[in-house]
Structure 1
């Protein structure tokens, strides 16, 4: 079979492989990330507009930066344009930006020309005639704030990709600065390192090598002298990686008879790089993918290959809308496990099993390096400024590529900057440091931090890293559930941001809302909690992610709640991970010196963008509320030491009082969704389906009334959204200053004709605005 990613393919690629993606954006600085085919100096210019965004006017900011050569045909930069002090961006205007690409003193390209090629003669990333991408800063009034969030986007997952709905949201209000989305938060699993479709690995592996210009030598353990010491990605074929991923790399996704989850696991740096590009841009997808019988041996696996190809063709069909959306709203993100591999750092046993293997360690490092370049750089651009650890990491990544992956000193430098734990030379196992009663993976002082805080005119967002700062119980078995934030992580990631003096931008109003991004949810379905505890008692922790939910470790959850409510009366937690969406409200009452202090936490969960499953499709319907409705749950807790205990009856409550009186009480309630409505842009969605998908739907349209479970009435469950969805968060404040947070969850209807619909969840906060 001819190589589809040869010289001809590379020549036909546009200069811009992925992006532009608008990232960290403040009143005095704007950052745009972009991936290019050739090295350039990239110039970013930010403009004011008039006539509600229609006319480009004054140049406000300008910045420039050279790309870093991460491969022969992969050059990446996140360029920041900053204020010189004479002007700050305000919250009630639409701004535009432009890019220029200077390849030499005589050769440069505009944004319009850099996007296009023979395969892509016309690329539109704007909502206006001037063809420039635009954005609006968050408002000064909480009622006007619009935040979008979601998680878990697997290209071959079931159902339509929900992320393109973001493009519809922006397009419908592009000329209204207080109505269009102001920030996008991706809360985990932006790509999947495990559970990769065979044809997607086929594309990623070859594209990755083509962009790098070299083949990585992936280290493996030699058990006999005849065993190979390394494999290249092309030697590890799609569908045949289960054994090496499980036994040589140590990954746990393939345990418990789930080898299909790792049979096409990403391993090489090029594969992780390529996965991001393929998730965000249509530019590098090949024009055709071979049929299953040309690649796979066996009828069953060949049929599965062809089905996954159709799924990915549907995915790529709407990528143009994803690309346009990401260019027009500031995007922030944080990893969860699948950005590396399922169960990443789940417990101490996982760390010892994977990081103690040369291939496991290399793969985790490859995934983290890809995350640093494709996500973290835009989240925290100051970490990657000149002279900072991030810039040194970028240079080391360029040197690693220039050496063809052969420079051991550079590899070690990358590990230090990424925070990979050192390996004990005596045991060949990762090093831990003990804090109080827990063990934490060791890291170098110059390592990057993945957590960060965003502060705007009326709200703050504290983004947590619950993967690399876990606290593993030192006095329990290695599979014991960890604290998702170890003691030093609680201080650095939560206590310090909450206590910081507000650095108010000019004209900033009073802080009115605090958001916390927790990739793994605090509270979930009660039956899931029961399953987790059942599996934990039987030491089967990997199959159902025992230890990833906060409420499997009550000490950590109690500390999380008390830390938050010491500083804030209202908190909104955004989370994902669990492949369904919901809203729960926790009322926290603390008793002190005969008085009561009430606080409120609302958890807004949004998952998945594209990964619905049969079980989530069932709990989405009325069947869930009929057979297994969620009930209110109550906890009592103590502050020193932090702990909490669930009480299910008056008897258990009185029994708990026999030890010592509780210091606080928590009541969790499930918020029910309103009747499903059609979005104002939801009727005409001809862009959604490929011709093949449309023909298949027409074929079954006549039978829709025989499938009652797909009809609107049955799909109107009360508690969760179990189909692929995207969340829009906004607020209502009445004349009495009482505030309400609203999560509108957009999804594709199951009935005909297919529409974009939304389900609304409303939760009261308190009767007064938050005062910090």
Structure 2
């Protein structure tokens, strides 16, 4: 059935999502089924007093509308305010949609699921300082675990006072899994593409001519690895890149349903941010053989459970400002892992298109809302690409490839929030420190120039929160395993991506922490690894050394294999105990890492394995005063508490060698 024969579409398909909110600037994101005429209303005031009202009709300069389908329009709202909004006050807001045949409709009419009980409008709070925040990563829809973003909704339902509200939600990577998609999710994506008329494209260098042929291809479900750029027919290239192993460019082990087209990736975002698109879909499954049909049915319940929680996820995202950064699965597994990976992937027209499509979708659905200013020129290119369509509604390949080339040269995905403490979000994917002599070795997560820029941004701040998708201070045993596989020539087998894997990047980032003019307190927030842990890091034999905290929360909807993680945890404690000589073989030998223990640890485990969301509370100096993991399954939260034996040992070393003790809170 064609899209035109279906019932009318709702005006808003996804959103609004609150993105970067500051007293003088409000950034919001939504997707409509048509270009919407919007009016933003704000209301706030002290209890018992008449509220102050603001009414902003959003013109073209304040609301950028980008068409991505016949019935799909991304609305990027960036409202600069003449007078700033107050901090630490609840601000009610509404987005009114003008109608040609009736009164304007507000959120209560077109998205009542976004309202908490008893509320007539959604609201937000602009916190004067980052005294608490939420953070997490790795949200895979078909994973059996519950969705960690539901923790944010439960928290907001109870946080009635402005001072109880987290300042923001930080999502530190893998908000979507473009490279690991279940059959039911891919079916939903294809149905949504048809329903909304998302634009198609030609596919140069592929086994299929265009997106229409891809969606109809017999290997379109659970066999997409056969369509992806592969090296089977180029023995010399395979030998050079994979050491003779028959392996495709796209190295994920879950590439059976790897997303390919821009339409697929945009549809995925709509389906993970909002419940509304799911109401537009049918329930019939594609034609599959018996084995794949069983797999499809086994995945269906997990996807349906994910879908059933999206009304509450959308509600949280409409009340809490969110900031994001990509990691590999937002694009593809092993993205830019090594110089050889880059040469091979970007040297093939089809693989380059897939990576570029993921970057375009990330820009529209995540990156722009973090900091709109750097993307002005890129958005013009997207407008030109969308306008240049043929009679089949396929976007122009030349314009699409030119846009992708510009994005691969783009180096402003990182951003800084001018907050207290300062917040710096790192791009650890596109500015890699490549190995020039051994091109298949893992690249450094940031190159020398990017790290110098980071140091400049940190100068003279008293405290800083750094968002690094991969932990800077990780589990030593797991890093040692990755180093072993790299040494024998197989870094792709273990995703050997950590800060210590590249000597140059490791030395520079550790030197930044030791610099006399960089902050006296660092909090590093990370994800990626599918387990959670907290380390306090001390620099040995330094009287004025900074406080450094590594806080990792992962995943939002993903977990590490439990038995394997138990073994890693246990062996890591044995092999890298405080007195172990192995510590002096690591690049962090000048630093002492003191783990915190999960409060529900049964046998001294340092790693917490469970889907959920991290919550951190900060004191006036910008140091964490409480670190919590909220569990997606609804069980009691986990606090990361001090290991008294490790703390006592660290204090003894400090007294002997002059290092800073854990309890020292003196200003630098």
Task: Give TM class, smaller chain.
Answer: 0.7 to 0.9
Task: Tell me what 2:120 maps to.
Answer: 131
Using the alignment, how far apart are the partners of 2:406 and 2:578 within structure 1? Answer: 43
Could you tell me how far apart the structure 2 residues matched to 1:356 and 1:104 are?
Answer: 50
Q: CA RMSD in A?
A: 3.4
Residue 453 to residue 104, structure 1, CA distance change in 2 (3 Å): farther
SS of 1:18's partner is strand
Q: In structure 2, which of residues 188, 196, 200 is the aligned counterpart of residue 203 of structure 1? A: 188
2:617, 2:563 → 1: CA distance? Answer: 26
Task: Work out whether 1:269 is the aligned partner of 2:194.
Answer: no
Task: Identify the residue that residue 79 of structure 1 maps to in structure 2.
Answer: 77
- Name the CA distance, whole Å, in 2 between partners of 1:204 and 1:770: 53
Larger relative contact order (Cα-Cα within 8 Å, sequence gap ≥ 6): 2
User: How high is the TM-score relative to the length of structure 2?
Assistant: 0.86
1:353 aligns with one of 336, 344, 358: 344
The alpha-carbon deviation at position 358 of structure 1 amounts to: 1.1
Correspondence list, 1:88-99, <5 A: 88-99=84-95
Q: What is the aligned partner in structure 2 of residue 325 from structure 1?
A: 316
Matches of 2:90 and 2:279, distance apart in 1: 36
> Within 2, Cα distance between the matches of 1:171 and 1:134?
12
Matched, 1:480 2:480: no
Deviations 1:498-552 (A, max 9, x none): 23x8xxxxxxxxx663110111112322331222122112211212111x11111
| Structure 1 counterpart of 2:651 | none
Distance between the aligned counterparts of 1:159 and 1:744, measured in 2?
19
Q: Choose the corresponding residue for 1:31, options 27, 30, 37.
A: 27
Matches of 1:375 and 1:55, distance apart in 2: 37
Deviations 1:674-728 (A, max 9, x none): 247xxxxxxxxxxxxxxxxxxxxxxxxxxxxxxxxxxxxx5x7631221111101
Distance 1:109 1:410, change over 3 A: farther
1:352 Cα offset (Å): 1.5
What residue is the counterpart of 1:582 in the other structure?
533
Q: Which residue, 579, 582, 597 being the options, matches 1:672?
A: 597
Tell me if the contact between 2:521 and 2:622 (Cα under 8 Å) persists in the aligned partners.
Answer: no
CA contact (8 A) 1:738 1:766 kept: no
Deviation for aligned residue 1:468:
0.5
1:391 aligns with 2:379: yes
Give, in angstroms, the shift of residue 82 of structure 1.
Answer: 2.2
Q: Distance in 1 between matches of 2:433 and 2:151?
A: 38
2:202–2:209: 8 Å Cα contact kept in structure 1? no
How many Å separate the matches in 2 of 1:414 and 1:484? 25
In the alignment, which of 221, 228, 237 is matched to residue 245 of structure 1?
A: 228
Q: CA deviation at 1:383?
A: 2.8
Cα shift at 1:626:
5.6
Q: 1-side partners of 2:22 and 2:354: how far apart?
A: 34
Q: Pick from 184, 199, 203: which aligns with 2:169?
A: 184
* 1:580/1:616 contact within 8 Å kept: no
| Larger helix fraction of residues | 2
Compared CA separation, residues 542 and 289, structure 1 to 2 (3 A): farther
User: What corresponds to 1:15 in structure 2?
Assistant: 11
Give 1:427's aligned residue: none
**Is 1:608 the equivalent of 2:594?**
no
Q: In the alignment, is residue 193 of structure 1 matched against residue 175 of structure 2? A: no
1:148 aligned counterpart, secondary structure: strand
Deviations 1:70-98 (A, max 9, x none): 211110112122221xx323332111221
CA distance in 1, matches of 2:449, 2:351: 26
Displacement of 1:391 in angstroms is: 3.2
Deviations 1:163-216 (A, max 9, x none): 11100111111x311111111010000001111111211221332344344432
CA displacement, residues 584-622 of structure 1 (integer Å, 9 cap, x when unaligned): 12112476xxxx431221111010111124x246636xx
Kindly indicate whether residue 523 of structure 2 is the aligned counterpart of residue 572 of structure 1. Answer: yes
- Does the Cα contact within 8 Å between 1:133 and 1:327 map onto a contact in 2? yes
Whole-Å separation in 1 of the counterparts to 2:607 and 2:549:
15
The 3 A distance-change label for structure 1 pair 649 and 50 is closer
- 1:621-770 correspondence to structure 2 within 5 Å: 629=573, 648=582, 665-675=590-600, 718-732=605-619, 739-748=623-632, 755-762=634-641, 767-768=664-665
- How far, CA to CA, are the matches of 2:168 and 2:386 in structure 1? 31
Q: Distance in 2 between matches of 1:168 and 1:522?
A: 30
Unaligned ranges ≥5, structure 2: 233-237, 643-660
1:632–1:530 CA distance, 2 compared to 1 (3 A): closer
Partner SS, residue 129 of structure 1:
coil
List gaps (5 residues or longer) in structure 1. Answer: 116-122, 421-442, 502-510, 636-645, 657-661, 677-713, 750-754
Cα–Cα, structure 1 residues 455 and 157, in superposed 2: closer, same or farther, change >3 Å?
A: same
Cα distance in 2, alignment partners of residues 338 and 368 from structure 1: 11
User: Deviation at 1:766?
Assistant: 6.0
Whether the 8 Å CA contact 2:108–2:115 is kept in 1: the answer is no
1:279 matched to 2:269:
no
Cα distance in 2 for partners of 1:44, 1:82 equals 12
Q: Which residue of 2 aligns with 1:380?
A: 371
Which of 271, 290, 295 lines up with 2:287 in the alignment? 295
Task: Measure the CA separation in 2 of the matches of 1:94 and 1:146.
Answer: 16
Deviation per CA, 1:33-76: give whole Å up to 9, x if none: 11100012333333324439x98542276644242212111101
State whether structure 2 residue 571 is matched by structure 1 residue 619. Answer: no
User: Partners of 1:242 and 1:401 in 2: how far apart?
Assistant: 29
CA contact (8 A) 1:163 1:609 kept: yes
Structure 1 position 165 matched with structure 2 position 151: yes
Q: Aligned equivalents of 1:245 and 1:729: distance in 2?
A: 41
Matches within 5 A, 1:40-79: 40-51=36-47, 57-59=52-54, 63-64=58-59, 65-79=63-77
Q: CA deviation at 1:260?
A: 5.8
User: Quick check: 1:624–1:717 contact (8 Å CA) kept in 2?
Assistant: no
User: Residue 208 and residue 287 in structure 1: after superposition, are their counterparts in 2 closer, same or farther (change >3 A)?
Assistant: closer
Aligned counterparts of 1:354 and 1:587: Cα–Cα separation in 2? 40
